[in-house]
Structure 1
Amino acid sequence: MIEDDALQEWAGTRRWVEGVLAPGERITRVRALQGGWTSQMRRLDIEPSDDGDDGDGDDGRGSDDGSGGGGYTLVLRSFVKPFYRRHAPAMLEREAGVLRLLEAGAIPAPRLRAVDATGAHCDDPSLVMTHLPGSVRVHEDADVARRTTLLAGQLATLHTLEVPEQERPRPWQAWTSPERVQVPAATERAGLWKRAVELIDREAPAHHACFLHRDFHPGNVLFTGHGPQLAISGVVDWVETSWGPSDLDVAHCSTTLALLHGAPAGLALADAYEQAGGTLTADGRDHLYWRLLDALAFAPDAEKVAVPWRELGRTDLSAPVLAGRLEDYLQALFDRYA
């Protein structure tokens, strides 16, 4: 039997997971999942007790293959970093509640199996959920435009979700403010940054609130197929789910696309979203507020979010490249909406 190299680090968590399995089932393979930085993700292959070996390895956030021999796969999320451990109870309880809410809907989300939000039974606060088919797609290829269209359509569907008032998630929160924006030290476009910061130095615009993923971007969406067969197979990472303006979800995905593929890709999502039936703030300056509020939270260079993208093969996304793309995107937003 081949043991997971880090087995002792999560032995208690593993016992907890095994405790929620059906009688006779056991974990037969453990693989680390790449593509995230807030939590440690593991893929757990579950089989009946009569066969299988333990092992470990690397995989993407999703995979197009499944377990054979009557087994199935779960995903384990554990918050191990000190900052996220402190916030884990609220984050994991929120995700657990959202997964329960989405069970009967049209959103392809995982199903909750169990949660230990405080780490009372686990080595670290943890949640275990079903595994979805597909993989994260962040590469430059012929499918970028099609992926953007699908992302926009999925967001438009998500924002129509009707949630009783007593079951709604927390109100949206801003991830930056004028005094917190970090302007790149080496920028040659200081005036652009000053203009952007000044525009968000105001009260949030009036808006129609709806259900938000709040961290919707290509790193949290799984795809299957290619070309005409390309399809979204899963939306994951629901710990930031909120209630607020649809513009904010569109803004976050748009900023990410701009960093991954350039400013034009960041602009294309909003158009595709409206074509899919989504509704954005009609006033261009108010919509610009939401777009800039999100984009400025990535300053000065989006280095932090690029770490999982590099793990997935986007080694071209250096700090200078990201800083340049972020500034290009800010300028494109002003050209379009100001």
Structure 2
Amino acid sequence: MIEVEPLSGGITADTRKLTVWNTHGFSRHLVLRSYATPASLRYAEDWLSRESNALTMLSGSGVPTPELVGVDPGAEHCEYPSLLMTHLPGSVVLTDEGVDERVRLLARQLVQIHAVNAGTSPREFQASTTADTVVVPARADTKIWAAAQDLLRGPVPTYEGRFLHRDFQPGNVLFDVSQNSAPRDHRSNRLGGYLAGSNGPRRGALFDQSRSAAWPPMGFAGVSPVGWWTFGEAA
């Protein structure tokens, strides 16, 4: 190993870019993701197992994905639970310049992700919250939120299982100099309805907006499958 570079962007894991020499005398870039905080250690084994399965499944799918090099979910060989993968070029871009083109790229890539034949590998969909645990924003329209909570108490709509990234949003996509994009952080993947997978970009687009009375539950669409997926994933 000839260089270690901390990578920014993650809030639950320590991520480092490693430059190593291989046996043929050429350098190679890898990424090491480790969970070291008490809060993340509680979920590290599950997160790393899910991410390693997703990287294996997405290999050769057409979705730009790092190659899994190794994983140690139980910290049997590493100081902390860790995953090692190849490095993808690019960086997170959150500026206004070029946003229209990036949105089109995100939309096309979301179609690619949902087209992946996931079989039964990911876990079945679970809503991000429940009707009784969702936190209603201050000054929110209580009637709208009450209707959404009633909807969430009902059964999950029938759906054709699609591979869902579950956190596909601008902060989790790398763009290179040619404006090619690659999603990262696959630990939250599930099987679910494709409408749920479209909520990540919408959350990212609204991330900096105030959750005020003018902000209903992310385009809540009433008593319908669209409404269930919208609220069940976004709240």
TM-score (norm 1): 0.61
CA deviation map 1:12-67 (0-9, x unaligned)? xxxxxxxxxxxxxxx22222211111211111122369xxxxxxxxxxxxxxxxxx
Q: Note if contact 2:58-2:116 (Cα within 8 Å) is conserved in structure 1.
A: no
Tell me how far apart the structure 2 counterparts of residues 182 and 103 of structure 1 sit (CA, whole Å). 38
Aligned to 1:304: none
Tell me how far apart the structure 1 counterparts of residues 132 and 67 of structure 2 sit (CA, whole Å). 40
SS at match of 1:32: strand
Tell me how far apart the structure 2 counterparts of residues 178 and 162 of structure 1 sit (CA, whole Å). 31
**Of the candidates 206, 219, 224, which is equivalent to residue 285 of structure 1?**
224
Deviation at 1:188, TM superposition (A): 5.3
Q: Is residue 179 of structure 2 the alignment partner of residue 230 of structure 1? A: yes
CA deviation map 1:77-124 (0-9, x unaligned)? 111122321222222122112212222221101001111110011111
**Of the candidates 72, 80, 92, which is equivalent to residue 116 of structure 1?**
72
CA deviation map 1:272-309 (0-9, x unaligned)? xxxxxxxxxxx98311221112221xxxxxxxxxxxxx
**Of the candidates 203, 209, 230, which is equivalent to residue 255 of structure 1?**
203
Indicate the larger mover: 124-133 or 253-262: 253-262
Alpha carbons of 1:148 and 1:284: their partners in 2 closer, same or farther (altered >3 Å)? farther
Q: Note if contact 2:45-2:81 (Cα within 8 Å) is conserved in structure 1.
A: yes
**Of the candidates 109, 116, 129, which is equivalent to residue 161 of structure 1?**
116
**Of the candidates 64, 76, 92, which is equivalent to residue 32 of structure 2?**
76
Tell me how far apart the structure 1 counterparts of residues 209 and 111 of structure 2 sit (CA, whole Å). 22
CA deviation map 1:201-258 (0-9, x unaligned)? 3211111111111221112110123xxx4221x2211111111111111122222222
SS at match of 1:206: coil
User: Matched residues, percent identical?
Assistant: 34
Q: Letter of the aligned partner of 2:179 in structure 1?
A: L
Alpha carbons of 1:284 and 1:187: their partners in 2 closer, same or farther (altered >3 Å)? closer
Aligned to 1:245: 193
Alpha carbons of 1:128 and 1:207: their partners in 2 closer, same or farther (altered >3 Å)? same
SS at match of 2:132: helix
Q: Which structure has more helix as a fraction of its residues? A: 1
Work out which of the two has the higher radius of gyration on C-alpha atoms and give 1 or 2: 1
Q: Note if contact 1:116-1:125 (Cα within 8 Å) is conserved in structure 2.
A: yes
Aligned to 2:215: none
Q: Is residue 122 of structure 2 the alignment partner of residue 174 of structure 1? A: no
Deviation at 1:192, TM superposition (A): 3.6
Q: Is residue 47 of structure 2 the alignment partner of residue 38 of structure 1? A: no
Q: Note if contact 1:138-1:260 (Cα within 8 Å) is conserved in structure 2.
A: no
Tell me how far apart the structure 1 counterparts of residues 111 and 147 of structure 2 sit (CA, whole Å). 30
Q: What runs of 5+ residues in structure 1 fail to find an aligned partner?
A: 1-26, 50-68, 264-269, 271-282, 297-338
Deviation at 1:131, TM superposition (A): 0.5
Q: Note if contact 1:252-1:291 (Cα within 8 Å) is conserved in structure 2.
A: no
Q: What runs of 5+ residues in structure 2 fail to find an aligned partner?
A: 212-218
- RMSD (Å), alpha carbons: 2.5
Aligned to 1:214: 166
CA deviation map 1:166-200 (0-9, x unaligned)? xx21111211011111123x425333433332332
Tell me how far apart the structure 1 counterparts of residues 145 and 119 of structure 2 sit (CA, whole Å). 40
CA deviation map 1:129-168 (0-9, x unaligned)? 00000101122x1322211111111111111112344xx2
**Of the candidates 49, 57, 60, which is equivalent to residue 93 of structure 1?**
49
Alpha carbons of 1:284 and 1:202: their partners in 2 closer, same or farther (altered >3 Å)? closer
Q: Note if contact 1:255-1:294 (Cα within 8 Å) is conserved in structure 2.
A: no
Tell me how far apart the structure 2 counterparts of residues 262 and 159 of structure 1 sit (CA, whole Å). 30
SS at match of 2:2: strand
Q: Letter of the aligned partner of 1:171 in structure 2?
A: E
4+ residue stretches of structure 1 with deviation over 4 A?
A: 260-263
Report the count of equivalent residues. Answer: 225
Tell me how far apart the structure 2 counterparts of residues 83 and 98 of structure 1 sit (CA, whole Å). 23
Q: Note if contact 2:22-2:28 (Cα within 8 Å) is conserved in structure 1.
A: no
